[in-house]
Structure 1
Amino acid sequence: MDKHLQEHYRLKIDEKMSIGSYEAFRFRNVVYTIVPITNMEHEEIVELKQMSDYLISTGERNIASIVPTASNSLLTSIDDQGNILLLQMPTQQQGMRGNYSLGSQLAGFHEKGRRFPYQVNRSNRIGQWKKLWEQRLDQMEIFCDEKVRQHPSSYFEKLLVESFPYYIGLTENAIQYLVDTELDDQPIHTDSATICHHRFTRNTWLNERTVFPIDWVYDHASRDLAEWIRGEFTNQYKIDYNEVFKFTRDYERVTRLSTFSWRLLYSRLLFPVHYFESIEGYYLSSSEAEKKQYEIRLSEHLKRSTDYELFLKEINHLIRQSRNNTSKVPQVGWL
């Protein structure tokens, strides 16, 4: 690694350290993080660098910047270990926007993201939820059918096979709700694409944490709102609805949410991404300890499925009462 950094980046290691699960080092009082890249292509990395450079230029101080090599490449390969990306940590960190609430901070972040001046292709998810959800469901259905033919041999596989029909139904409900939203409602200017996170939770910006561009996608702002709300529930399977109301109210102090936004948010909560990620994580994991954690997580999701239905019902009620949206945000009949 030392030789690779000197050869490709003209950097030396004064001090080794770690940031989260990543290797990091200090050189001349600047901290760099080494991030393995397994599922991103060069074009997507270029887009993410453009996003980080743009946001840093607007005054965002907690964002890591992508460091090119001496030959101006963004990805390098170390022997047979695959590609890496080098990130430079911000030298001076502070809260995202002073002492403003998280909802207001997120809205301000999205406002800047909507003004991003470059075209986005590889990182773009706006308008693609239906296609992506259908692909995910189809792939899981093929996989699950194969497990049934082979006869489930482990506790995890039995959980998967027994629970999947229910989650097919829930996913189809989410897709239908999304389709109805796109047919019945009209987006406004604040529904245009912005810079979002793959999974935004209360920990994403906690304690002035550095934001990594690899955690971003270009999508509708409701993605971040929905995933924050989902995370609040699935963390301990209980939720303070007053906190949800405050979070969305604070967001709307900066950016008013259209009924189109509210309906997209709700369709995303209907889609059981926490279920899919537990299964995908289990089969992608290389260690037995990680597999066990995903097994425990899936088991808990299944035990709490009734609680999740109640959560979806209460969130729908909260949305319908917000800004007098009662007649514009449909209920789901079976909840």
Structure 2
Amino acid sequence: MKEALYENYNLRIDKTINFFGFEGFFYRNILYCIVPNSNLELEEIFELKQMSDYLIQNGDIRVASILPTTSGQLISTINEQNSIVVRCPVHDRRTSESIGKELARFHKKGRSFPYRVTRLSRIGQWKYLWEKRLDQMEMFWKEKVRQHPENSFERLFVEAFPYYIGLTENAIQYLVDTELDEYPAPIDSATICHHRFTEMTWDKNYFFKLPTDWVYDHYTRDIAEYIRDQHSIGETKINNQIYHFMNDYERVSPLSPFSWRLLYARLLFPLHFFECIEGYYLVSSEEKMKREEQRLTTIINDSSDHERFLSNFFNQVGVQKRKLNLPDVSWLAR
């Protein structure tokens, strides 16, 4: 690793550190992070570099920058795998600002990103991506039904999937109705978002932001995934973290009626179920497969609680549905 870093980046290691779950190191009091790259293509990394450079130039001191090699390449081989090296911001401890306000400011800056994004753009693609994911899983499910389930995980999957077909179709219909009924406001233009935004995405002490997890999308993507994660870890019941998060976000950047409906459509989409099924077949160890089975059991057992959460969502975050003309999903309201 030392040889590769010196040869490719002219960097030495003064001290190593674990950072964001990745290998990090200090050189001349500057923190660098080595991010293994398994799925990003060169064009995508170039777009990520453009985004991070733009945010840094426009005053976001907490964004990490992608470091080219001495020969100008954005990917290098470190520890026998393709990697991206990022230079982290100065250790400037954040103020007491909340994650909601910080995310709203991040989206506000990202909305003025001036370059065209093609490879990382997801704006306007949710319907297509959800339908594609549903069709693929439905084909897989039919095959499992035909072959008969081999174990307890597959039996759970085969029995539960028709319910999640219905929930996914509801999400798609809610999205389609939103695009037909509501006109997007200026705030609904694309911005820099995260593939999956949770409380753990940014370092809690400094709000460091690694660009390797970014996409270009509607800002409610990040809000929905944060809320989904908070609900899954029980924060909804404990301290109403979701209400405070939304309240803080809207102090900086109020949501439009179009945004509220788009946010709700994304919450309706049962991403947690899809990821659990896909995760089970991607892992190889018995232990990880068992973990995914336990996760699926929990998802199915908590389905009534999840329905209540979706049914009460607008009330919980203090939104007047009638004022903003936000429709209910009738079967959830029963």
Shorter chain as denominator, the TM-score bin is over 0.9
The residue number in structure 1 matching 2:223 is 225
Distance in 2 (CA, whole Å) between partners of 1:150 and 1:199 is 34
The residue number in structure 2 matching 1:25 is 25
Distance in 2 (CA, whole Å) between partners of 1:197 and 1:231 is 14
1:273 to 271, 274, 277: 271
Distance in 1 (CA, whole Å) between partners of 2:239 and 2:133 is 30
When residues 325 and 64 of structure 1 are mapped into structure 2, their CA distance, relative to the original with a 3 A threshold, is farther
The residue number in structure 2 matching 1:87 is 86
The residue number in structure 1 matching 2:256 is 258
When residues 325 and 117 of structure 1 are mapped into structure 2, their CA distance, relative to the original with a 3 A threshold, is farther
| 1:211 Cα deviation after fit | 1.6
Distance in 2 (CA, whole Å) between partners of 1:163 and 1:85 is 40
| 1:28 Cα deviation after fit | 2.2
Query: Could you list the per-position Cα deviations for residues 183-203 of structure 1 after superposition, in whole angstroms to 9, with x for gaps in the alignment?
Result: 111001001111111222233
Distance in 1 (CA, whole Å) between partners of 2:150 and 2:76 is 41
Distance in 2 (CA, whole Å) between partners of 1:9 and 1:318 is 50
Kept after mapping to 1: 8 A contact 2:257/2:324 = no
When residues 231 and 239 of structure 1 are mapped into structure 2, their CA distance, relative to the original with a 3 A threshold, is farther
| 1:324 Cα deviation after fit | 5.8
Distance in 1 (CA, whole Å) between partners of 2:104 and 2:225 is 14
Query: Could you list the per-position Cα deviations for residues 257-311 of structure 1 after superposition, in whole angstroms to 9, with x for gaps in the alignment?
Result: 1110000000000001111111122222233333222222111111000100000
| 1:6 Cα deviation after fit | 2.0
Kept after mapping to 2: 8 A contact 1:171/1:272 = yes
Distance in 2 (CA, whole Å) between partners of 1:60 and 1:94 is 14
| 1:76 Cα deviation after fit | 1.9
When residues 77 and 203 of structure 1 are mapped into structure 2, their CA distance, relative to the original with a 3 A threshold, is closer
Which letter maps to 1:166? Answer: Y
Q: Secondary structure at the match of 2:205?
A: helix
The residue number in structure 1 matching 2:141 is 144
Which letter maps to 1:11? Answer: L
Q: Which moved more, 1:279-288 or 1:156-165?
A: 279-288
The residue number in structure 1 matching 2:170 is 173
Distance in 2 (CA, whole Å) between partners of 1:119 and 1:318 is 37
Instruction: Name the TM-score, length of structure 1 as normaliser.
Output: 0.92
Distance in 2 (CA, whole Å) between partners of 1:326 and 1:160 is 40
Distance in 1 (CA, whole Å) between partners of 2:236 and 2:253 is 27
Which letter maps to 2:213? Answer: D
Q: Which moved more, 1:273-282 or 1:10-19?
A: 10-19
Distance in 1 (CA, whole Å) between partners of 2:259 and 2:238 is 22
Q: Which moved more, 1:178-187 or 1:54-63?
A: 54-63
Query: Could you list the per-position Cα deviations for residues 197-220 of structure 1 after superposition, in whole angstroms to 9, with x for gaps in the alignment?
Result: 122223333222422111211111
Distance in 2 (CA, whole Å) between partners of 1:210 and 1:255 is 21
The answer as to 2:7 corresponding to 1:4 is: no
Which letter maps to 2:7? Answer: E
Structure 1 runs of 4+ with >6 Å offset: none
The residue number in structure 2 matching 1:154 is 151
Q: Secondary structure at the match of 1:55?
A: helix
Which letter maps to 1:77? Answer: T
Distance in 2 (CA, whole Å) between partners of 1:162 and 1:105 is 42
Kept after mapping to 2: 8 A contact 1:200/1:224 = yes
Q: Secondary structure at the match of 2:156?
A: helix
| 1:313 Cα deviation after fit | 0.1
When residues 297 and 209 of structure 1 are mapped into structure 2, their CA distance, relative to the original with a 3 A threshold, is farther
Unpaired stretches in structure 2, ≥5 consecutive residues: none
Task: Give % identity.
Answer: 54
Kept after mapping to 2: 8 A contact 1:125/1:218 = yes
When residues 300 and 187 of structure 1 are mapped into structure 2, their CA distance, relative to the original with a 3 A threshold, is same
The residue number in structure 2 matching 1:129 is 126
Distance in 1 (CA, whole Å) between partners of 2:326 and 2:316 is 10
| 1:3 Cα deviation after fit | 2.2
When residues 43 and 324 of structure 1 are mapped into structure 2, their CA distance, relative to the original with a 3 A threshold, is same
Distance in 2 (CA, whole Å) between partners of 1:327 and 1:214 is 36
Aligned length: 331
Task: Provide the aligned C-alpha RMSD in A.
Answer: 2.0
Q: Which moved more, 1:18-27 or 1:215-224?
A: 18-27
Distance in 1 (CA, whole Å) between partners of 2:156 and 2:256 is 39
The answer as to 2:115 corresponding to 1:118 is: yes
The residue number in structure 1 matching 2:205 is 207
After TM superposition, the structure 1 = structure 2 runs for residues 175-324 of structure 1, keeping only pairs within 5 Å, are 175-205=172-202, 206-236=204-234, 238-239=236-237, 242-318=240-316, 322=319
When residues 272 and 156 of structure 1 are mapped into structure 2, their CA distance, relative to the original with a 3 A threshold, is same
Unpaired stretches in structure 1, ≥5 consecutive residues: none
Q: Which moved more, 1:189-198 or 1:282-291?
A: 282-291
| 1:242 Cα deviation after fit | 4.5
Q: Secondary structure at the match of 1:136?
A: helix
| 1:237 Cα deviation after fit | 7.6
Which letter maps to 1:186? Answer: Y
Instruction: Name the TM-score, length of structure 2 as normaliser.
Output: 0.92
Which letter maps to 1:151? Answer: H
| 1:330 Cα deviation after fit | 0.5
